[in-house]
Chains A and B, each alone.
Chain A
Amino acid sequence: ETGVTQTPRHLVMGMTNKKSLKCEQHLGHNAMYWYKQSAKKPLELMFVYSLEERVENNSVPSRFSPECPNSSHLFLHLHTLQPEDSALYLCASSQVGGRANYGYTFGSGTRLTVV
């Protein structure tokens, strides 16, 4: 375990379902992130929460909705997804601020399949 735990590890959902991905970090970090990794594509940064404030990302469709209730937990709520949303969703955390930041710690990811 890296200190960042993602659940579930695998998820299959229909296009009309609503589901949520969960991420929890035990590192005392003050920033958390959602990334999407589709086959043959670079990682895409979806959302950033820094000091529990969300950094807007207008390129992410509204069918993805993040929630950060506190600095240790991050959710990604999913509804009416499309098959092209099938991907590996990765959560990460880091400590930011001060003169220089530090490395990110990633979870193992949730493999999402939309049918």
Chain B
Amino acid sequence: SQQGEEDPQALSIQEGENATMNCSYKTSINNLQWYRQNSGRGLVHLILIRSNEREKHSGRLRVTLDTSKKSSSLLITASRAADTASYFCAPVGGGGADGLTFGKGTHLIIQP
């Protein structure tokens, strides 16, 4: 699988504000996945959006996908201190059996 590139690399906002992070990729995909990693822990799968979907919601998370621009965004609304973590996107082509590749991620800090 190809590696996505997250932007910005770091983001610091006040609790209660919305956080938006972006992901760009290079070649066509089957789906794109977003993951969260708290410091020193394993990654947690947040949401998967398929190539024929444009927007998907899960609780306070909203993901968009623009295949023409080869980009995706993750919006976290009404942020909480517990949202402090690193966020990674993983674009997936084919059957995804060759392993996900991760970039540097976006490190999100929620200030109390």
A residues near B88, Cβ cutoff 8 Å: 43
Whether a CB of chain A sits under 8 angstroms from the CB of B61 is no
Contact A33 B99 (CB under 8 A): yes
Whether a CB of chain B sits under 8 angstroms from the CB of A25 is no
Whether a CB of chain A sits under 8 angstroms from the CB of B45 is yes
B residues near A102, Cβ cutoff 8 Å: 48
Nearest-neighbor residue (CB-CB) of A48 within chain B: B99
The smallest beta-carbon distance between A95 and chain B, in angstroms, is 10
Whether a CB of chain A sits under 8 angstroms from the CB of B43 is yes
Contact A55 B99 (CB under 8 A): yes
Question: Complex Cα distance A16/B92, Å?
Answer: 39
Question: Complex Cα distance A94/B45, Å?
Answer: 11
Contact B50 A48 (CB under 8 A): no
Contact A94 B96 (CB under 8 A): yes
Question: Complex Cα distance A100/B100, Å?
Answer: 14
Whether a CB of chain B sits under 8 angstroms from the CB of A21 is no
The smallest beta-carbon distance between B104 and chain A, in angstroms, is 5
Contact B97 A101 (CB under 8 A): yes
Subset of 27 A-B contacts with CB under 8 Å: A2-B42, A4-B42, A31-B97, A33-B100, A42-B102, A42-B104, A43-B102, A45-B101, A50-B98, A55-B97, A90-B42, A92-B43, A96-B95, A96-B96, A96-B97, A97-B97, A100-B30, A101-B30, A101-B31, A101-B96, A103-B35, A104-B33, A104-B43, A106-B45, A107-B42, A108-B42, A111-B40
Chain B residues within 8 Å of A, Cβ to Cβ: 3, 30-31, 33, 35, 40-45, 48, 50, 88, 92, 95-105
